[in-house]
Amino acid sequence: MRLVKRRVGFAALVLLVTTLHASVDRITGQPFATRSEVIARHGMVATSQPLATQAGLEMLKAGGSAVDAAIAANAALGLMEPVGCGVGGDLFALVWSARDRRLYGLNASGRSPLGLTLEELKAELSRKKLTAIPPTGLLPITVPGAVDGWYELHGRFGRLPMRQILAPAIRYAQEGFPVSELIAFYWERNLRAFAGLPGAALTTWAPGGKAPRKGDLFKNPDLARTYLELAEGKGRDGFYRGVIADQIDAFMRAHGGHLRKEDFARHTSTWDDPVSVNYRGYDVYELPPNGQGIAALQMLNLLEGYDLRAMGRNSAESLHVMIEAKKLAFEDRARFYADPAFHQTPLAWLLSKDYARERRALIQPDRAARVIEPGRPPAPHDTTYLCTADAEGNMVSLIQSNYRGMGSGIVVPGLGFGFQDRGEQFALDASHPNAFAPGKRPFHTIIPAFVMKDGQPWLAFGVMGGAMQPQGHVQILVNLIDYGLNLQEAGDNARWQHEGSSEPTGAYTTGGGFVYLESGIPWEVVRELKKRGHDVRTDLGGYGGYQAILRDPVTGVYYGASESRKDGQAAGW
Q: Are 337 and 294 in contact (CB under 8 A)?
A: yes
Note if 345 is an active site residue: no
Strands 282-286, 449-453: pairing kind? antiparallel
Give the containing element (helix H, strand E) for 59: helix 50-61
Strands 449-453, 536-538: pairing kind? unpaired
CA distances from 138 to 89, 123, 244, 440 (A): 14, 15, 17, 17
The runs of H, that is alpha helices, within 141-287 are: 146-157, 162-175, 181-191, 201-205, 221-232, 236-240, 243-255, 261-265
Alpha carbons within 13 A on the beta-carbon side of 419 = 32
Closest CA to 498 of 522, 474, 528: 474
Q: Are 485 and 479 in contact (CB under 8 A)?
A: yes
Could you give phi then psi for residue 418, rounded to 5 degrees? Answer: -100, 160
Give the containing element (helix H, strand E) for 514: strand 514-517
Q: How far apart are CA 457 and CA 476, in angstroms?
A: 17
Dihedral, CA atoms, 108, 114, 119, 120, nearest 10 degrees? -110
CA torsion through residues 116, 119, 125, 131, sign: positive
Q: What DSSP string describes 114-136?
A: TT--HHHHHHHHHHTT-SS--SS
Alpha carbons within 13 A on the beta-carbon side of 274 = 25
Q: Are 227 and 75 in contact (CB under 8 A)?
A: yes
Chain centroid to CA 391: how far?
Answer: 26
Of the residues 383, 384, 445, 505, only one is catalytic, namely: 383
Q: Locate the DSSP E strands across 228-341.
A: 270-272, 275-279, 282-286
Chain centroid to CA 479: how far?
Answer: 20
Residue 400: exposure state from Cβ atoms within 10 A (0-12, 13-18, ≥19): buried
> In this structure, which amino acid lies at residue 561?
A
* Residue 181: count of CB within 10 angstroms of its CB: 14
Q: How far apart are CA 244 and CA 265, in angstroms?
A: 11
Closest CA to 540 of 2, 16, 161: 16
> In this structure, which amino acid lies at residue 287?
L
* Residue 41: count of CB within 10 angstroms of its CB: 13
CA distances from 402 to 10, 102, 143, 239, 263 (A): 30, 29, 11, 17, 18
Q: Would you name the residues annotated as active-site residues?
A: 383
